[in-house]
Amino acid sequence: MKIERIEEMRLSKRDDKAIGSLLDGSFGVDYGTRSFFQQRHHIRLLMRQKAAVIGHMGITIRAIRMGGKLLTIAGLGDVATDISYRGQGIATQLLHHAIKEVKSSQCAFFLLFGNRPLYAASGFKSVPNKVRCTSLIGVKTGEVIELSDSELMVMPLGSILWDEATVIDLVGHAF
C-alpha cells in the first residue's frame, strides 16, 4: 500500500465521497457525507486497499497568533483508519508522511488536537495553552470561544520556541 498526496483542488468527487464514508464509520459522527469535519484541508493523504480508501489525514496551512507573533503553521485533522485495518500501522505511516511533508514547508509548527500515544511517539508534545477559535457547529460559524482543555499538541519545525503561557489564537476555526 502506498500513500497518495492529493491537493484539495484535485480531490475527485469519488475520493471526496469515500473519505466522507471513512470518517462517518471511524468516528460514529454524522459528517453528512462531507469529507471534513469543520472545513476543507489543503492537502489530503490517503492510503488505499485496492480502490477503497482505508486511511486518511488532512493537512491545513494557516496563520495563527501566539501572543503577539503571527506564525504560519500546519494543522492535522480528520485522521481516520478503516476499522477493519486498525492496528496495522496505517496511521503511523500516514503521520510520518505528513510530518515529512510539513517539515519541507515554511511552517514554524505542526499542530493537532488529540491525545493519542501515536502523536507523542512521533514527536508531538501536549501543551497547556488556552486556545481561542471560532466555533463551528454543523459547518456554521458560531461564537469566538476560548478552550482551556483543548488537547493541543505541537511539533516545533524550526528555531522558534513555543510559548506555553500565552493564548493561542487560531484566527478562525479549529482543525
What SS3 state is found at 4? strand
Identify the pLDDT of residue 102.
Answer: 98
Identify the pLDDT of residue 108.
Answer: 99
Q: Which residues are bridge partners to 43 per DSSP?
A: 7, 59
Other residues' Cβ atoms within 10 Å of the Cβ of residue 79: 22
- Choose among 39, 53, 48: nearest CA to 171: 39
What SS3 state is found at 45? strand
Q: Is the pTM of this model over 0.75?
A: yes
Q: How many independent structural domains does the chain possess?
A: 1
pLDDT band at 98; cut points 50, 70, 90: very high
pLDDT at residue 24 is higher than 90: no
Q: Taken in order 32, 20, 6, 13, is the CA torsion positive or negative?
A: negative
Instruction: Tell me the CATH number at 39.
Output: 3.40.630.30
pLDDT at residue 29 is higher than 80: no
pLDDT at residue 31 is higher than 80: no
Identify the pLDDT of residue 60.
Answer: 97
pLDDT band at 47; cut points 50, 70, 90: very high
Identify the pLDDT of residue 137.
Answer: 79
pLDDT band at 35; cut points 50, 70, 90: confident
pLDDT band at 96; cut points 50, 70, 90: very high
Structural domain that includes position 31: 3-173
